[in-house]
Structure 1
Amino acid sequence: MTTVLVTGANKGLGYEAARQLIAAGHTVYLGCRDPQRGQAAAQQLGARLVQLDVTDDASVATAVRVIEGLGGLDVLVNNAGVEGRSENNSIIGAEEVTADMVREVFDTNVFGVVRVMHAFLPLLQRSSHPVVVNVSSSLGSLSMAESADSPVYHYPGVAYPASKAALNMITVRFANQLPNFRINAVEPGYTDTDLNGHTGTQTVEEGARIIVKMAQTTADGPTGGYFSAHGPVPW
């Protein structure tokens, strides 16, 4: 039986991906920063709760010890993420964005992923078929950002797209250097979640499908790729 850790899993895409993975027969750990909300979500899903704040070294190290003590890990889904909107829930554009704002987004979306992957790497390497799924976004696509025909071109924010572009490169570099792993980035689509102030146009059920699909990548499946439910996404 495959054991999966999903970060940022007490709501939204993480919660729904966990639900679908459990329904497919996997053992799922919910990595949640808030233990009370996490416990409620775990009970609803029949999942295992692991308190996990991806921005905190000690929290991540403790989560590794907990999962190692319970048997190990096969699949890591790096789902935890923030968009970095203003207090009135507006997207912060180039004229308003500051280095501190960018740093805050990167701390979760980029440094948090590296922190979690570094900590869990020894555990994943013990698996016969280790898989990593990095939840990215088409907003991280440089090709789409350069095309006036793409909605990505018209997105006004700076920090979030930059963080996802960085995450895409991290995905490629880890995949190149860990050939026994299957490591891919996914684009769930514009999904109705708290992250975007519930402005998304598709359901979490729809958005989670590509996460779940790539979490179940076989040993001969792709690695170092960037995928949506419709196929490869241009870098």
Structure 2
Amino acid sequence: MTLAAKEAVGANFSAEAMRHAQALTWAATEKIAETIRPGMRESEALSAGKALLASLGMERIWHPVLIRFGHNTLRTFGEQSQDDPILGDDDIYFIDIGVMWQGHEGDCGLTRTTGHDPEMRRCASDAKRLFEVVREYWQTHGVTGQALYAYAAEQAESMGWKLNLDMKGHRVGDFPHSIYKPGKLADLPHTPSGGLWILEIQIAHPTRPFGAFYEDLL
């Protein structure tokens, strides 16, 4: 399939609407993060997050809301959480939401910590930093999706983390982008265009049972 076919959009697509949807999705994610406190169960945070999204005027949730605590931060999008952990005073969690606004798909993810564990705090910070390093590499060198994730894995290792290559990034657009069956960003043998692809970064601690996640629009 050609890049043009993978990046096809509908008649109502608007680059401005995509940016607007992404901005609203980030604002919603930050609001959810503000509600999460130590002592909550993961399931409680998830229920509260869904309720908050419903109150914000979004059109629909286009992919399942994920909130992962502690050891579940190592789980990928397609995996179920293990148990129903309680968020501790020194703990880590991430949020991943996909929400539609004005017919366009917003998608973002972030990691937060609740205490002062230095490795958890660095892991959360480095997930975002790695995203920024990889995005700059794409902007500067115009590389393929395949080369982008190879570079991400190298950079993660240099930071002391392991990149989860099962989280490969994906297309977004006017809903539903999936009708174009574009595949994953990490498998793309072309240079991705801006405003249409989500770069997903999930890293894991080399020895301890936690990781961090960050994603945003390229």
Hey, which of these two has a bigger chunk of strand by percent? Answer: 2
Identify whether the pair has TM-score above 0.5, normalized to the shorter chain: no
Q: TM-score of the superposition, structure 2-length normalised? A: 0.29
Q: TM-score of the superposition, structure 1-length normalised? A: 0.27
